[in-house]
Amino acid sequence: MSDSTNSSLGFLSNWKFSLAVCVPCFAVGLGATYYFYSKSNYKNGRPLEPTAKHQEIDGNNATLNQLKTNGIDSKTVKVNKPTLSEQVEEFKKQGNAEFSKQNFEAAIMFYTQALSICPLSEKGLLSTVYQNRAAAYNKLNDYENCVADCDKALSLVPSYKKALSRRARALSELGNYKLALEDITAVVMLDEFKNQTDIMFADSVIKSLGKQNLEEYTKHNAFSLPTKIFIENYLKSFSEDPFNDEFPRTLMNLEINTGLELALKCLKNKTYEQIEDACKEELKKTDNSLIRRTLALNLLATFSILRGNYASGIEHLTAVIETSGVPNKLVINSLIKRASVYHQLDQVEKSYEDLKRAENIDPNSSEVFHHRAQIYLLEMNSEKAVEDFKRAVELNSKFILSNVQCCYAQYIHAKQTSNELDTEKFLNKLKGFVIKYPDYAESYTLYAQVKINITFFQYIKYILKCI
């Protein structure tokens, strides 16, 4: 079998893959999720962010904005005596003054002083000062410190666009294109695809990332794994996870630290880099049981695919699928995964064939319908997507992802058929999910996608075309 990944730019496999596998995952890959994570920064369906004018540093602060956004007049919180915050404000002002005089070291000193006395409760103010100090570090080409300060600013105000944009550029300078792309994509999304400068920068990051991945592939004969959060979300997209069964769970808890036991422990520990070697170790054994072998094969295939090595993924999955006596659940899981790879490789018919085969094995498996619906959605066949998602929900109403995505598909369908009443209805329902499952990242992501509307898909198509 020829390795189809040799000819393409590897990281894209991750993008395309997540596209093929799960729409919300994809947005995660794109970097949306964690900026919509924080409940406190995502009110009224609108992420809060400082709206300072387009200058290098922020004179405004996010707290003030937050008050404004929530409809509270900031003037009413005026105090007479200089508070700690006002002292911070003073240091910040001095820092800003030095900054505009191009005295970046001095600016950093003032910002650092401001930070040293700033109360932790002043999230907006703190994040602004961190952002400003990051800007100064940036001017000194100190990208490590720039990233570190952006990290802090963003941990306080997750959708702080300027800090995201700055971090993206600093990460890119440091050669960390993968994370840079996540950040800049979030910025592009927050701007609703209107800022050409940022879109062009995203493009350049994509190209650098592709080049970097190709070099890496040439060197190690493999691509690197996607980010941890991406992998986690991918694994979460399976409601009937074969690695969550009693047998693998028992193995996970044994003292043994080799082969399948080790692989499963790493899966649990999220030390993903070690999994493939551990699986290979298991497969070298000659006396292991059928279930052990096929679990190892499926797990190895999963990570091969995540790494963009489709040929090897297909090979291992096929070995599971064609072995008799394997539990249905594992066969179905393998068929779904192979189907998504075929879809990724533009072999759409083969993809549907595998899903049909999985459906025939268990017509009551919600998983099959859920994943086929996702493929329909990617093929822009929203009608069929809605049909399959509805069936998935019917069969497993507890799997929130199906519920949310079903609603999302209905929204897309309403949009495509210009049904304004339904568009409004499903948009409101999606908003409801955000309120109902505040900790459920996917619903945020989907809502973010809706905010961005169909343009999102156009952007994806555009990215796919570029590479």
Ligand X SMILES: *[C@@H]1O[C@H](CO)[C@@H](O)[C@H](O)[C@H]1NC(C)=O
How many CB atoms lie under 10 A from the CB of residue 426?
23
Site string for ligand X, 401-430 (x = CB under 6 A): --------------x---------------
Q: What angle do CA 428, 433, 439 make, to 5 degrees?
A: 145
Stretch that binds ligand X, among 32-40, 83-91, 96-104, 301-309 (CB under 6 A): 83-91
Does residue number 81 form part of the binding site for ligand X (CB under 6 A)? no
Nearer to ligand X, 118 or 209 (CB): 118
51 binds ligand X (CB under 6 A): no
Backbone angles phi, psi at 37, to 5 degrees: -65, -50
179 contacts ligand X (rule: CB under 6 A): no
How far is Cα 341 from Cα 346, in angstroms, rounded to an integer? 9
Tokens of 402: 């199906």
Residues 10 to 39 in contact with ligand X, rule: CB under 6 A? none
Show Cβ contacts of residue 382 under 8 Å, excluding neighbours closer than 6 positions. Answer: 376, 409, 412, 413, 416
Q: Which residue has the tokens 């025939």?
A: 360
CB of 438 to ligand X, least distance (A): 25
Three-class SS state of 43: strand
Nearer to ligand X, 16 or 166 (CB): 166
Which window, 3-11, 109-117, 231-239, 260-268, contacts ligand X (CB under 6 A)? 260-268
Round to whole Å and give the CA distance between 301 and 299. Answer: 5
Select from 122, 149, 282, 387 the one that contacts ligand X (CB under 6 A). 122
Q: Assess 61 for contact with ligand X (CB under 6 A).
A: yes
Residues 12, 16, 19: CA angle, nearest 5 degrees? 145
- Cβ distance to ligand X smaller for residue 191 or 216: 191
Q: Which of 59, 207, 422, 425 binds ligand X (CB under 6 A)?
A: 59
Q: Is 125 in the site for ligand X (CB under 6 A)?
A: yes
Question: Based on CB atoms, which residue is closest to ligand X, 244 or 269?
Answer: 269
Q: What tokens were used for 361?
A: 């094995």
**Does 269 help bind ligand X (rule: CB under 6 A)?**
yes
Least gap, CB of 7 to ligand X (angstroms): 34
Query: Residue 53 interacts with ligand X (CB under 6 A)?
Result: no
Q: How far apart are CA 9 and CA 351, in angstroms?
A: 22
Q: Which of 13, 66, 85, 237 binds ligand X (CB under 6 A)?
A: 85
What is d(CA 18, CA 316) in angstroms, rounded to the nearest whole number? 19
d(CA 196, CA 29): 21
Q: Site for ligand X (CB under 6 A): which residue of 229, 455, 457, 467?
A: 455
Give the SS3 label for residue 47: strand
Interface with ligand X includes 394 (CB under 6 A)? no
Going by C-beta distance under 8 Å and a sequence separation of 6 or more, which residues neighbour residue 98? 104, 106, 107, 110
Question: Is the CB of 14 or the CB of 66 nearer to ligand X?
Answer: 66
Q: Which is nearer to ligand X, 252 or 326 (CB)?
A: 252
Residue with tokens 């399948």: 260
Q: How far is the CB of 64 from ligand X (least distance, A)?
A: 4
* Residues between 128 and 157 with contacts to ligand X, criterion CB under 6 A: none
Q: What's the chain's Rg over C-alpha atoms?
A: 24
Residues of this chain that interact with ligand X (CB under 6 A) are: 54, 59-61, 63-64, 85-86, 89, 122, 125, 165, 192, 195, 197-198, 262, 265-266, 269, 271, 363-364, 415, 453-455
